Amino acid sequence: MDINKTKEQFNCIAQKYDSQRKYFIPCFDDFYKTSVSLLKLYKNDFQNIVDLGAGTGLLTMEIYKLYNNARYTLIDISKDMLEIARERFDGLSNFEFIEHNYAENIPVKECDLMCSALSIHHLSNTDKIKLYKNVFSKLPKGGCFINLDQFRGTSEKINELYNEWWRNYIHQSGIKEEEKLASIERRKLDKENTINETMEILKGSGFRNVECVYNFMKFGVIIAIK
């Protein structure tokens, strides 16, 4: 991951990030809300939750609605994005915010749920392998990792169709032209895997149960249980 370029681009869009999400994610509610709700059926009382690439705290907020007594650690390389997350959870004492490159290491002793949304696809394969091993090492037996991300199609032809459909969706969404151009620049940082490739890396990291629980074109949600 080009840490400096990534940090710069996400610092630039921090103030607009939340308001733009539905312009860019056609399956927003299913992606962020419905798929995450499955966690509650697995475990009713996660205690320590870590969000990798937490940004403004969008994913954390959905998980907080399920587990409002847990302790939360939000990690991101963008100071400006984390500042918005601080404002989102202002007044709550069970939140910690860490400006850090989680691809290098995860600066927590332990947690029982680790999550990430639309962040890990910025990493190289080497960094992904390293990260998933680090995630596995931080979780206890029965601990859980949930990754909401964008992925390549299994075939190049289908992937091209996904990309074209997504471009058309964004074009028709009503978003401003300069914001659309900025999103195209950010996509140059993407290093997507297929869902199957991601699941195999997770299994190779030691996870016993790995499943794609939601998939809509380029967007998918994978749950891995130690």
What is the radius of gyration, based on Cα positions, of the chain? 17
Domain CATH for 21: 3.40.50.150
Which tens digit of pLDDT belongs to each residue from 138-189? 999 999 999 999 999 999 999 999 999 998 998 887 777 777 666 666 667 7
Give pLDDT tens digits for 64-86: 999 999 999 999 999 988 999 99
Residue 47 lies in a domain: yes
Alpha-carbon distances of 54 from 63, 77, 80, 168, 208, rounded to whole Å? 12, 9, 12, 27, 25
**In angstroms, how far is CA 25 from the centroid of its own chain?**
13
Q: Which two tokens stand for residue 167?
A: 């471009």
Residue 145 lies in a domain: no
Is residue 147 in some structural domain? no
State residue 4's pLDDT score.
Answer: 53
Q: Is pLDDT above 90 for 49?
A: yes
- Among the listed residues 31, 60, 39, 40, the one whose alpha carbon sits nearest the alpha carbon of residue 148: 31
Question: Is residue 40 in some structural domain?
Answer: yes
Mean pLDDT of 52-73: 96
Residue 36 belongs to a domain: yes
For the chain, what is the domain count? Answer: 1
**Whether the Cβ atoms of residue 169 and residue 137 lie closer than 8 Å to each other:** no
Predicted confidence band of residue 7 (pLDDT cuts 50, 70, 90): very low
Expressed as residue numbers, the domain containing 184 is 3-140+152-225
